[in-house]
Structures are given as structure tokens and as C-alpha cells.
Structure 1
Amino acid sequence: MKKITAYIAFVALIAFLFFLYGFSSNRNGAKKVKNTVVEFEEGDNNFLTHNMVDKMLIQNQKFVENQPKSVVDLHFLETNVSANPYVEKATVFLTINGVLKTLIKQRKPVARIVNNDSIFYVDNFGMKIPLSTNFSARVPLVSGVGNAEEIKELIQLLQAISSDDFFKKEVIAIERDAQNEYFFTVRTGDYKIAFGKLESVPLKFKKLKAFYNKALIDGTIKKYKVINVKYHNQVVCTKHNQDGKQ
């Protein structure tokens, strides 16, 4: 008899707990979203504005603020925000206090590509990013690159450039010709660097750095029109109005 009584009490307790949970859930779900907060990771609020993100937080053709928490589809909202071409990663969640928070990591452009029919940025993953009226990124201008395979190769070159503080500031434009060779436009003079194909990259930058260390000190770098690092173990330079070797 005691066992039966204990069993009934246990079942009653479980039922009561379920009732409290359901009651609490219903009350919580009936509460409305009282505010929305948008936060940009790492402070990189560049392409997007808070107002632009708010316009993505639309459900049932209405802004989510003041809608019941129970009808808010967080997965739908997160997918909607993530679909924006400026967004690399998005997280959307509701706090206990009824605040809808959206955390966004924006895509970081590494180059601005100019083609015959289009202009766009690309990030480190090779993803295309449209231009924006809100922000203009200071990244190298690139021409002669268009398809996915060419962009992938470009990213490798850009990573090599950005790994050196000097060349990261020095190279302002990159051109890829029909022979798949690269040419750099630089910040410190009116000469160009003929880098050649994407091969022996560390060696080429090492030769180029050694040349810069000498030519910038003695001032001879101003005499050159083209600095060519395509050839093995040498830097070949073309002077203005005459040819020469360094």
C-alpha cells in the first residue's frame, strides 16, 4: 500500500512539474520582443549599419519587435541575415528579458577586382562582396582576374603580400596578363614590379626585399621603370629611357 501511495505521489509530482513548465513556457512565449540589439564582432562595422540589419529581421511581413516570443523563428531570421553578401557569420538569439540579439561578423575584403563588366571585392575565402555606398575598403586594385580558379590563385599571392608589413603597404595594385604573369603597382614610386607567374613566391619576395633594402638607401630605385624578379637568382631592372641591370 505504501508503495502504491509513493508511486501515486511521484506521478502527481511529475505531472505538477510538467504543468508548471507548460504554464511558465506559455507565459514566456506570450511575452513580446521588447527590443532588438545588433552587435558587430571585432568592431568591424563597415559595410552594414544597424538599420540595414534591422530590415533583415522581418517575419510574417513585420519587424520582429513587439511580436510574441513564441512566434519568433530564430533559425529563419539567422538564415535571412547570413544570406547577406556582407555577412560571414551571424547568430540570432532571444534573451530571457525579451531582447532579440544579432551578432554579426562581416566579410573582410582583401582585394577589389575590376573586370570588363563588373567590379567587386573578394575576401580571404574567395567569396565575392559587392561594392557598398557605406564603406570603401583600402585594398589592392586587381585586374585580369575573373573566374574562381584565378581568384583562388590571387588569394595565395595576397596572403604572401600581407604577411610582410612593408609589401602590405607598398603594393597598391595587381595586374594579371594573358600569360598568367603578375605585375605590381607600388606606392613609393612610378616603377612597376614584374613578379611573373605564381611560383617560387618566397624566393621572389626575398630577392625583392634585398633589392629594396639597397636601392631605397642609395636612392637608385628612382631611376627604374621596371623591377623584374622573374628570373632565377637575379633582379633585372629597366631604367627610364635606357636598359640596365641590378
Structure 2
Amino acid sequence: MKINWNYIKTFLLIGVVFFLFAFAEKRNHNRVLSEVNLHFTNSENLYLTEEAVNKLLIQNEVKVSSIGKETLDLNRVETLLEAHDMIENAEVFMTVDGKMGAAITQRKPLARVMGRAPYYMDRNGLKMPLSQYYSARVPIVTGVSEDLLPEVHPLVSYIRNDEFLTKHVTELNRLSNGKYVIRLRQLDFVVLFGAVSEIETKFMNFKAFYQKAMKDKKLNAYKKVDLQFGDQVVCTKK
């Protein structure tokens, strides 16, 4: 009987192809996450580190070196990350080669609130703990308890969104009558801002006063500048 080697070769080739396909499928199924690629979307200042994020995942039994990609709950990881005091938002994803990635947006502090236990107020007006990794250069707020953060937030937010005010304002102090006093960098006078109202008008008036006083070289001639009288700026000389 004559053996048809062409048929045998064909069957062997088909068998090898099926074996390789099955092997690759099994390997892909068992592939584990070998590393976490972190990206901080606002990474100019790091209030937490990659090491801190990885530690958080490990503590919550998200062992990326031993979890198959089919069993990893990305939503759970996002929830864990967003529960961190320094994280505002997290988007977790997994690449085709079995690596987990996370785009992390940190919370952004606007001011440091002083008290028995100092803390930050973030850009959403919420309490944010200080970081062990970085100290933010933000204005100091005194005389404010946590329940008053919604009151002071519009004022601080306006300051932080204005280049001129960000450069000059160093401290805001809330008096017992609910009015605010503002202190400036390298200037002797204080600014009586009053209640948190008419913010834009008051600061426009202050900028106009500042430019005029600087032009006249009289910035150091005053000890108090009062912005509480509508369109007027009332100054008290030394």
C-alpha cells in the first residue's frame, strides 16, 4: 500500500496549528498583571507617590502580580483609589499585554486652614489633609472652622484664579463678626475686605488703588485699605 505523505504532512501541519493556538489561548487566559503604570494628570506637585498608590492596592488585596486579567474588577480599583484622601478622580484600565494603568487626578489645595490640626481646603471647598510628600504654597486662612469652608471658598477660589492676587495675597483672617482681613506679601498695610460679597468689584477697586499708589510711590504710606464701601477705597495713612 502506497503511503500518501502529502496527506500526512497536511494533518500534522493542522495539528501543530491547533496546538499552537490552544497554547497561546491558555497562556493569554493565565496571563497576570505584571506592573501598574501610573499617570498623574496634574503632576506638577505630587501629594502622593506611586509607591503610596501601590501600597494602597496591596493593602486592599489588589495583588497585581497574581491576579488574572479576567478576574480583576477595574471598577473596584477605581473606587479604592478615589477613596484616597489625596485623589480626586481615577480612571483605571488594562492594556492588551496584561498591564494595569491608572490616570490619577490629585486633589488641588487652594488654602491652608490653620487650627489645632491644620489642613488644606481643596478646589471644591472640601477639607483635605496635609501631605507628607509636598507642602503647597497657598494662602493661610485663620479664624475659620470646617463648617465655614463653604463661606470662604468663593473668596479663596477667586484669589487663586487671579494671577495678581495669587502673587500678593498671603493670608486671610476671619474676624468674629464674620468679616475678612487680607494680608499681602511684602506690604505693611492690611486690606479690610469685609463680608464675602461683591468679590469681583472689591478686588477691581483694590487693583486700581494698587496701580495708582505704586505709580505715585505711596504703597508704603498706608497701614489700612478698606474695600467695604461700594466703589470707594478708603485708606488710612500711617
The TM-score bracket by the shorter chain reads 0.7 to 0.9
Q: TM-score, normalised on structure 1?
A: 0.81
Which residue of structure 2 aligns with residue 209 of structure 1? 207
Q: Is the 8 A contact 1:141 1:173 kept in 2?
A: yes
Deviation at 1:24, TM superposition (A): 8.3
Counterpart AA for 2:145:
G
Structure 2: state its 5+ residue gaps: 1-22
Counterpart AA for 1:186:
L
What is the rounded CA distance, in whole Å, between the counterparts of 2:30 and 2:141 in structure 1? 54
Q: Equivalent of 1:191, from 189, 192, 202?
A: 189
Change (3 A) 1:60 1:121: closer
Which residue of structure 2 aligns with residue 114 of structure 1? 114
Q: How does 1:51-200 map to 2 (within 5 A)?
A: 51-58=51-58, 61=61, 63-115=63-115, 117-148=116-147, 150-200=148-198
Counterpart AA for 1:130:
P
Q: Is the 8 A contact 1:41 1:104 kept in 2?
A: yes
Per-residue CA deviations over 1:77-121 (Å, capped at 9, x if unaligned) read 221111001000011221110101111000111111012x22101
Counterpart AA for 2:151:
E
Deviation at 1:59, TM superposition (A): 7.2
Q: Is the 8 A contact 1:228 1:236 kept in 2?
A: yes
What is the rounded CA distance, in whole Å, between the counterparts of 2:65 and 2:45 in structure 1? 22
Deviation at 1:74, TM superposition (A): 1.8
Q: Is the 8 A contact 1:183 1:196 kept in 2?
A: yes
**Identical residues among aligned pairs (%):** 36
What is the rounded CA distance, in whole Å, between the counterparts of 1:169 and 1:31 in structure 2? 52
Which of structure 1's runs of 4+ aligned residues deviate more than 6 A?
23-26
Count of residues in Structure 1 that have an aligned counterpart in Structure 2: 217
Mean Cα deviation higher: 27-36 or 86-95: 27-36
Q: Equivalent of 1:232, from 230, 233, 236?
A: 230
What is the rounded CA distance, in whole Å, between the counterparts of 1:94 and 1:205 in structure 2? 48
Which residue of structure 2 aligns with residue 49 of structure 1? 49
Change (3 A) 1:124 1:217: same
Structure 1: state its 5+ residue gaps: 1-22, 241-246
Per-residue CA deviations over 1:145-166 (Å, capped at 9, x if unaligned) read 1133x21121211232234321
Q: TM-score, normalised on structure 2?
A: 0.83
Q: Is the 8 A contact 1:82 1:89 kept in 2?
A: yes
Which residue of structure 2 aligns with residue 10 of structure 1? none
What is the rounded CA distance, in whole Å, between the counterparts of 1:184 and 1:168 in structure 2? 12
